[in-house]
Amino acid sequence: MYRQNRNKKYLENLGQEENYCLTVDCYPGVDDEIFDLIKEIYKPDFVIKSEDVFYEKDELNKMMNPFLTENRGRGVVYYRKMDDFIDDIKLAQYQSLASHKGRVLVYGVGVSYIHKGDTLIYCDLSRWEIQLRYRKGMPNFKQDNDDEDVLKKIKRNFFIEWRIADKYKMDIFENIDYFLDSNQEGNPKIVTGNALRSALKKTTQRPFRLVPYFDPGVWGGQWMKKNCGLDEKQNNYAWSFDGVPEENSLYFRFGDTRIEIPAMDLVLYQPVELLGMKNYCRFGAEFPIRFDFLDTIDGENLSLQVHPLTEYIKSHFGMTYTQDESYYY
């Protein structure tokens, strides 16, 4: 399953000492394949999974429900941090366990709250891949909502889970020793933290393009299918997201290894360099412009686009700016 033998050496060479703690932090949505892989290569004497320090499902829902609302697709932005959802008593217990002698593996979402580790690996995942996994039945973090409406799963991500995960990621970003791209099943790829941080800094100094994705929809047409080399078996393609960092990803090539990371890593890590100080002061570490293609050719009429005023979106959804649209035909 693990095809990148050169990358595998990174893990095999870790922790030659008798007592060593490897921490593997994960973005919500990283699956157990990565855990099984690392456990097989690292061969720990003792394993701690961070999921156990978070509150149980019912308590998490109770805390999150005011921000999820009854609306199918809209919630309220959660601006606080991941540790709001961690049980302090359980956390203290697991922090004590992490000092266990031997080869220790601490794995999962938010593991740095438990132990910083002798080596820190961060397993990243693109938001588009997360959405595809939801369509296949993946539940939200610590939930059993496999069959829930996909839009409701994404809503939980957009307004809460992605927000706290991104904020936490930036808190530890400079301390990450290795980044692991977990987007492709059976083909994870790893690169040093210094290499990726350097690549992100250089990206703000040159033109770049995001990785596009294409998706069907109720108004979808046939033009993109014919002209963009897309799957002919799909009934239609309604849109292509091609310049939306909160949805798209970035490719970086290091030697013969190409990794994929969320484009939001660039926005969050280098906001001033990317946006400029004036835009950063106005919008914060968010990319305020969206570029996408909408295809209705030989399809249906485009849906009616309605967006609230800035005051309304802030007071009702906790968002700091609204969406003004311009179309090029």
pLDDT of 52 higher than 70: yes
Give CA–CA dist 187/193, Å, rounded: 19
Residues 284 and 294 in one domain: no
**pLDDT of the residue at 18:** 77
Residues 158 and 122 in one domain: yes
Residue 186 belongs to a domain with what CATH number?
Answer: 3.40.50
Residues 260 and 300 in one domain: no
Residues 10 and 157 in one domain: yes
Alpha carbons within 13 A on the beta-carbon side of 236: 16
Q: Give the contacts of 241 (CB within 8 A, at least 6 positions apart).
A: 128, 212, 213, 215, 247, 248, 290, 292
* 249-297 tens-digit pLDDT: 999 999 999 999 999 999 999 999 999 999 999 999 999 888 888 999 9
Mean pLDDT of the chain: 92
Q: Give the contacts of 289 (CB within 8 A, at least 6 positions apart).
A: 243
**Contact between residue 68 and residue 154 where contact means Cβ atoms under 8 Å apart:** no
Range of the domain at 179: 5-203+250-288
**Contact between residue 113 and residue 173 where contact means Cβ atoms under 8 Å apart:** no
Number of structural domains (the chain) is 2
Residues 195 and 294 in one domain: no
Domain-located, residue 329: no
**61-70, 94-103, 136-145, 214-223: least confidently modelled range:** 94-103
Place 9 in a pLDDT band, splitting at 50, 70 and 90: low
pTM of the model as a whole: 0.93
